[in-house]
Amino acid sequence: MLVVTDLVKRYGTVQALDGFTLNVAAGEIVGLVGHNGAGKTTFVEIVSDLIRPDSGHVTIDGKPPSATRGQVGVAPQHIALYPSVTVREHLELFGRLAGLRPAALSAAIDDLAGILRLSEIMDRRTGKLSGGQQRRTQAATALVHRPALLLLDEPTAGADLETRQAMLDVVKQRAGEGAAVVYTTHYLPELTELQATIAVAQNGRVIARGTYEDLAKDLPGEVRVTLEDEEEISVSTTQPTATLIELLGRLDRPISSVDVRHPSLDDLYRSLAVHDAC
C-alpha cells in the first residue's frame, strides 16, 4: 500500500530525512518510533503531501501522494482544529473534502461518534473541549472517510486513559478492515497492544524494521528474586523463564517475591540506537 524509498529532506543546514525508506502493507500497523528529530513528523508531512522531498519517492497504492485524494487520513501531532467550529461540522467538512456522499457521511459520523465517545459533544465548539476530547475529534477527522492509509502522528500525546483506549480500539478495528496504518508514538507499550510491527528511526532514516520478537531476540531481560530475609538476587539473561526455573531449583531459602522482566521496546530502541551510532 505505502512504499517510501530514499526520502531526503533538508531545511537549510538541518538534515531532516537522509534516505528514509519504509513500506507498509494493507492491514498492517507499523509503529514508527524514535526520539525527537528522528524524522518521523517530516516523513508524515511528505506522505500526506504537505511538503515535497528534495529527493526520493513515495507511492500510495501505486500513485503519488498528490493523486490520492480520499485515500489518506492524517492525525497530526499538534491539534489542528478550528476553535469556533463544532465537532460535527469538522467531520462534515473533512468527509465532504474526501468525497463522501451525504448518506454515507452521516452514517460515518454516527459510527465514529460512538466509537470515539463523541456523541455528547458533537455540537460543541472544539475550542471549548478538553484536551482529550480534542484528540478524539482530531482522530475522527482522519478516520471519517475510512481511508486506505492512516498516518497517526502521536495521536495520544497528553491524552487521558479513556482517549488512549478509544484510539487503540479504533486503530485495531481499521487495520482489521484492511487499512495500512503508520502510528508514531513515544509511548511504546501502545505498540504491544496494537500488535504492530516496528520501524526505528534515527537521524532521518529507518535503522531497523521487523517484529518485536525478531528485533528483541538477543536483548537481555532480567530475573529478580527477593528472599524472605530481604536479600535480592538479580540476573540479566536472554532467557528469563529458563533462568528463573534454574534459579529456583538452586535456592534453598524461603522466597517472598519473583519478578521476570522481558526486554522492553525501550531496551530495543536504546540497543539499536547505540549500535547505529558505533
- What's the grid cell of residue 140? 475522527
User: pLDDT tens digits, residue range 198-246?
Assistant: 999 989 999 999 988 888 888 888 999 999 888 899 999 988 888 999 9
Rounded Cα–Cα distance for residues 10 and 121 (Å)? 41
* Cell 495521536 sits on residue: 155
pLDDT tens digit string along 158-197?
Answer: 778 888 888 899 999 999 999 999 999 888 788 989 999 9
What does the pLDDT read at residue 277? 53
Region 51-65 average pLDDT: 95
Single pTM value for the model:
0.84
Q: Are 51 and 191 in contact (CB under 8 A)?
A: no
Phi-psi region of 154 (alpha: psi -120 to 50; beta: other; left: phi over 0): left
Give, in order, the Cα–Cα distances in Å from 261 to each of 21, 33, 94, 115, 227.
Answer: 32, 21, 44, 34, 18
Q: Find, among 99, 120, 122, 97, the residue nearest to 109 by Cα.
A: 122
Q: 120 and 129 in contact (C-beta within 8 Å)?
A: no
CA distance 267 to 48: 31
Q: Which residues, 6+ apart, have CB-to-CB distance to 102 below 8 Å?
A: none
Q: Tens of pLDDT along 30-53?
A: 999 888 888 999 999 999 999 999
Residues 6+ apart with CB under 8 A from 89: none
Q: 549500535: which residue's cell? A: 275
CB 183 within 8 A of CB 151: no
Task: Please tell me the predicted confidence (pLDDT) of residue 274.
Answer: 58
- Per-residue model confidence as pLDDT tens digits over 69-78: 789 999 998 8
Mean pLDDT, the chain, rounded, equals 90
- Residue 276 pLDDT level (bands cut at 50, 70, 90): low
The SS3 of residue 256 is strand
Instruction: Summarize pLDDT for 142-161 with one digit per residue, the tens.
Output: 999 999 999 998 888 877 88
pLDDT, residue 213, reads 81
* pLDDT computed for residue 4 by the predictor: 97
Query: Which pLDDT tens digit goes with each residue over 79-122?
Result: 999 999 999 999 999 999 999 999 999 999 999 999 999 999 99
The per-residue pLDDT for 275 is 56
pLDDT tens readout for residues 121-142: 999 999 999 988 999 999 999 9
Other CB atoms closer than 10 Å to residue 255's CB: what's the count? 13
User: Rounded distance, CA 156 to CA 169, Å?
Assistant: 12
* Distance, CA of 232 to CA of 243 (rounded, Å): 15
